[in-house]
Amino acid sequence: DQQVKQNSPSLSVQEGRISILNCDYTNSMFDYFLWYKKYPAEGPTFLISISSIKDKNEDGRFTVFLNKSAKHLSLHIVPSQPGDSAVYFCAATSNDYKLSFGAGTTVTVRA
């Protein structure tokens, strides 16, 4: 039973526009959330994270929002660039060193 869910398997967005990726979780013990990016034939790479004591964290073009009451987080990419085309995984942990991952969302940025 997946505790982290990414219900949109794919997203297509025009270059320069905003990409919004969504993630829901069921485990109320999760207290740290991360986003990973994965290109084909490569391992996932860490993108951005947020602690449960915050509701927003920003790093350049990437912003993660956390809504604890709704058990929902989102990743905003502004502006989207062709190099952002990849699979994005949402992950969460309750600080027991294990990450639980979602199924991933494939983002395609159109020129």
Partner 1 sequence: DVKVTQSSRYLVKRTGEKVFLECVQDMDHENMFWYRQDPGLGLRLIYFSYDVKMKEKGDIPEGYSVSREKKERFSLILESASTNQTSMYLCASSLMDRVGYGYTFGSGTRLTVV
| Positions in the binding site for partner 1 (CB under 8 A) | 2, 4, 6, 9, 32, 34, 36, 41-46, 49, 51, 89, 91, 93, 95, 97-104
What is the C-alpha to C-alpha distance for residues 101 and 7, in angstroms, rounded to an integer? 13
* CB 31, min distance to partner 1, A: 9
Q: How far is the CB of 107 from partner 1 (least distance, A)?
A: 15
Nearer to partner 1, 22 or 79 (CB): 22
Helix (H, G, I), strand (E, B) or coil at 84: helix
- 3-state secondary structure (DSSP) of residue 50: strand
Please identify, using beta-carbon distances, which residue of 15 and 55 lies nearer to partner 1: 55
Pick between residue 17 and residue 56 the one whose CB is nearest to partner 1: 56
One-letter amino acid at 41 equals A
**At its nearest, how many Å lie between partner 1 and the CB of residue 32?**
5
CA nearest 4: which of 111, 97, 89?
89
In the block, tokens 């990743």 appear at: 75
